Amino acid sequence: MIKSLYVRVVLTFLGAVILSIFTASLLINHIYIGQIKKALQDHMISSGKMMIKAYEQAEGGDLDYLMTGVSALPGYAVHMYDSKGKLLYVSSEVHQRQLELEAVHVPEVLHGGVFRSGINKGEGGMTVGLPLTVNGSPGALFITPEVNELVSMIGGFLKTQLLFILGFGSLFILIAARYIVQPLRRLTRATRRMSKGDFSVSLSTKRGDEIGQLTQSFNVMAKELGTLEESRKRFVSDVSHEIQSPLTSIKGFTQALKYKQLDEQTRMRLLDIIEAESDRLSRLSGDLLQLSTLEYEHMQLSPGKFSLDEQLRQVVIALEPQWSAKEMTVNLDVLPVIIEADEDRLSQIWSNLLSNSIKHTNNGGTIDIKVSLSGEQVLVEIADTGSGIPEEELHHIFKPFYKVDKSRERKVGGSGLGLSIVKRIVDLHKGQIEVASTPGKGTTVSVQLPQFYYKPEL
C-alpha cells in the first residue's frame, strides 16, 4: 500500500503539517511567550517599586495603606512576608504550590534581591518578588498575575484549533490527492491497454500543468505507435506478397525445368526468370538486414576523402539502363568537391534517391542533380518532374515500411525501406535531409553534408 502514490502524497502532507505545527509551537513559545512573560514581569516590578517607594517616602506610613495601594493593581494577587518569612498579608486565595514557590525565595528577597519566576528549571508562572522595609524591618512583597487560568484556556483553545486544522487539512488533502493521482491512474490503465496492442486509446484533458502535458504526450505517442503498427502490418503484408510471388515463380519454373522437355531457348528464358526472381529476394533481404544494422547496432562509418562530383556521375551512369529505358533526361550541375565521408554509404544515398526519382517520374521526364556550397556544408539537390508527394505525407516518408501510394508501389516495386536507410545514413554523417514536393509537378530532395573541400577546376 505504501507503494501507492496516493498514500505517499497523503503521508507526506501529514508529516509536513505535523512537523510545521511542532516547529511553530517551539518558535512561538521561545520568541513570543518568553517576551510577553518578561514584559509583564517588568511591568509588575516597575509598578511594585513605585508603590514601595511611595510608602517609604511617607516615612513609615500605615501598612494597610501600602497593601491597599498594591492590591489595587488590577488582575494581580499580592502576598507580603515579614523579616522571619511569615505571611503577613494575602490579597486573594493562595494556592499551596504558589506558597511553596514563594517560601523558597523569601530569604533571597529579604536580603535585597529581586525574584523572577521561570529563571530556574521547573518554575512556571510569572511571579515577581520585591524587597521593602516595614517599620524598620526588611520584608518581601510577591506579586502574581491572576491570568494563569486564562492563559491556560487560551493555550488549550490554540491547541484545539491546531488539531482542527490538522483534521480538516487531512480531509482536504485526501480529496485533493485523489484529484492529483486520478490522471496518473488513467494513464496507467491506458498504458496497460497499449501493452496489449490497443493503440486506439486516447485520453482527454483540459489541464495545462505537467500532468496535462504528460497526457498530451501520451496521446501523441499512442497515435505514433498506432501509425507505426499499421505500417508494420502493411509492410509484413507487402513483404509476404513480394516474397511469395517470386517463390511461386521460382517453384513453378523449377518444376517445368524438371519435368518437361524444353528446347534450349525456352530453358534459358526460364532460368533468366528464376535468376531475376532470386535477385528480387536477395535485394529484399539485403534491405531488411541493412535497416536492422543501421537502426539497432552501433554503426561504425569508414570515412575517407573522395570526389563527390565523380561519385554522382558514376551513380548516374550505373542507373542509365533505368532512366534511358523511360527516355528520361538527367542533368548534372556539380561543382568539383572533395568530401570526407563513408564513400560506400553515400553511394547508397544517391542510388536510392535517384532510383526513387526514376520510379516516380513518367516517360520523357527530367531529373536535375545539382551540387553547391552552403556555408561550411555541401548541398546536393535531386529534383524530378514526377508525380510528387502530398503535403500531409511528407513527415511520414522517412519512417520504416511507409509507402505513399500503396497501389502504385506494387507496380514499381520497393519495400518502403529505401528512404529510412537514406535518413539513417545522413544522420550518421551528422547531415540533414529535406524534401519539398508538389503533387503533379515533382519532388526535390536536399541533402546537406559537412566535411568538404572545394577543388577548383584547372
DSSP per position, 245-260: HHHHHHHHHHHHHHHS
- Contact, 337 vs 457, CB < 8 A? no
Report pLDDT for 310. 92
**Distance from C-alpha of 449 to C-alpha of 312, rounded to nearest angstrom:** 14
| Angle made by CA atoms 256, 258, 262, in degrees to the nearest 5 | 60
422: which residues sit within 8 A by CB, 6+ positions away?
Answer: 348, 349, 352, 353, 398, 433
Q: What is the CATH number of domain 302-454?
A: 3.30.565.10
Report pLDDT for 354. 92
| Tens digits of pLDDT across the chain (458 residues) | 455 666 766 677 777 777 777 777 777 666 656 676 777 778 778 877 877 777 666 555 556 656 666 555 566 778 888 888 888 777 766 677 777 788 888 898 888 888 888 644 445 567 888 888 877 788 888 888 765 555 566 666 766 776 777 777 777 777 777 777 777 788 888 888 888 888 888 888 777 777 778 888 888 888 888 877 877 777 677 667 667 777 888 888 888 888 777 788 888 888 888 888 887 777 777 766 666 666 655 567 788 889 999 999 999 999 898 898 899 999 999 888 888 888 988 998 999 899 889 988 989 999 999 999 877 789 999 999 988 888 888 877 877 656 655 444 444 455 566 788 888 888 888 899 999 988 888 999 999 988 666 565 54
Q: What is the CA 283 to chain-centroid distance, rounded?
A: 44
Report pLDDT for 29. 65
210-295 under CATH 3.90.1010.10, yes or no:
no
CB atoms inside a 10 Å sphere around CB 109: 23
**Distance from C-alpha of 41 to C-alpha of 117, rounded to nearest angstrom:** 9
At the top level of CATH, the class of 5-151 is alpha beta
CA distances from 23 to 29, 83, 103, 161, 340 (A): 10, 46, 36, 16, 68
For residue 242, give the nearest of 280, 209, 207 by alpha carbon: 280
**What does the domain layout of the chain look like in residue ranges?**
5-151, 210-295, 302-454
List, as one string, the DSSP characters of 161-218. Answer: HHHHHHHHHHHHHHHHHHHHHHHHHHHHHHHHHHHTT-----------SHHHHHHHHH
